[in-house]
Chain A
Amino acid sequence: MSGETRDMDAPLAIEGHGSKKSYLVGFALSAVLTAIPFWLVMGNVLSNQGLTSALVILFAVLQILVHTFCFLHVNTETEGGWTMLAYIFTAVILLITIAGSLWIMYHLNSNMMPGMIAPQMSGAP
């Protein structure tokens, strides 16, 4: 893919930095995607906490994607697609690690006998 189209005389004039436009668009989107969740939480805009949490997480995921494409320039062309593949692989492992830990530990906690949890919860120092 990229091997044939590379300019041999300019080995380092390469992938890895985008255009001014991609940086400016990425910055504008990130600013909006940061401001909204902060506004939601600091201003107590929604009375429903579950909805607020879901929206905050959604905006974070969107902003991570914006950073990935506008700032890190991950795409299917760079390095013949290997950066993209490594990125997707990492994202999957990351999700399994975090969601899996939360899930398992939540169940362990709720399966504890009440008598075992109580002294820990009161936690007098």
Chain B
Amino acid sequence: MITDASPIVTARIGKSQSWTLRSYLDNGGYDGLRKALSMEPAAIAQEVLTANLLGRGGAGFEAGKKWGMLRQADPKYLVINGDESEPCTFKDHMLMEEDPHQIIEGVLICAFAIGATQAFIYVRGEFALGLERMSAALNEAYSFGAVGRNIFGSGFSIDIVIHPGAGAYICGEETALIESLEGKRGYPRDKPPWFPAVMGLYKAPTIVNNVETMSNLPWIVLHGGQAFADLGIGRSAGTRLFSLSGHVNRPANYEVEMAKTTFHDLIYDPKLGGGIRDNRQLKAFVPGGVSAPWFGPDQVDMALDQDAVGKAGSMLGSGSVVVMDDTTCMVRAAWRITRFFHRESCGQCTPCREGGGWLDKIMRRIEEGQGREADLELLLDVCDNIAPGLGWPPQKTTICVLGPSIPSSIVSGIKMFRDEFLVHIKEGACPFGR
């Protein structure tokens, strides 16, 4: 069942010229900022805590708690993560193109609440239109007096800089993003000591928040944190954007109420995914980005609830759901995901750099009919060296979580589709004909 919760972050999407200031102002734009500037910064942070807004980037950490961990020093920075690169996630891409002012308004509210000295919005380099829309919106916002000096006469001043990335998945990891923003290779930093809230951009305390997280703030300020918390259930509060792709009739971004909507709703509801193409059977689905362990048809009735999905051994992650029907070769799917991680490894840590390459090669030979029966144990052994115990969330042997995410698809594949792997090996060919 889809609930009747009104959309929050997509409320303006689809309206004429939704990315312009005129359209934004016609639809309540910057009212949240005006209200925020009349409040005490601490009161805004309290509303966000009450809202129970979990970060929408992938880790799902409480935004309000994160703000509370910010070391008090001058300067302090706010960095917005718009480097959306988790495969099959395309929601921030849409938000930046279709409603850039909403992001800017959220950034201003957050900057005021945490007392930031300057804010940077890191936009994935490949998003040319997103960069242009964000840049045009920022110019408009400056002219309107919403950004810059003495905003709306409140005495609060802040500058925002739109910063383009240049193509690197790892820069979505917050410490790599900071390195990249400092003009360096995107190498993740060790935590501790490099927790951004303590030691982030230029070693100053820094809050890194996601684009969708920011997009929720104007609504939360206007309606109050409790109204947000009243949506969803418990820790999975509010609505959330899910990127639905793969073998569905209506692949798109859908904003639904958390915890009260299920994967089944998302995939089959006529107003959402509209079911699987050609009325085929669901074989498996990725519940939250390709880093996440897969789910099978028996888990499709699970709610879009962060804790429930976590308890079942996976994650809602970046909010991307990829549906695979019974024509999908699961060996090829797992190999493609593995190849991605191998390509995107920054190379700092041996388990990820070398292990990813070994897994890529072994998966390739199985898919191409050159596999050996012992390969399955070998795959699991290499995976275990990257993420000992093969549990979820994974144990880390590396600086960041890219490495420990590599095993997800392979371990899921072998666990759920062992026979399919064996057919590849025994018949010396992919049964799906590639």
Partners in one complex: no
Chain A contacts to B: CB under 8 angstroms:
none
Chain B contacts to A: CB under 8 angstroms:
none
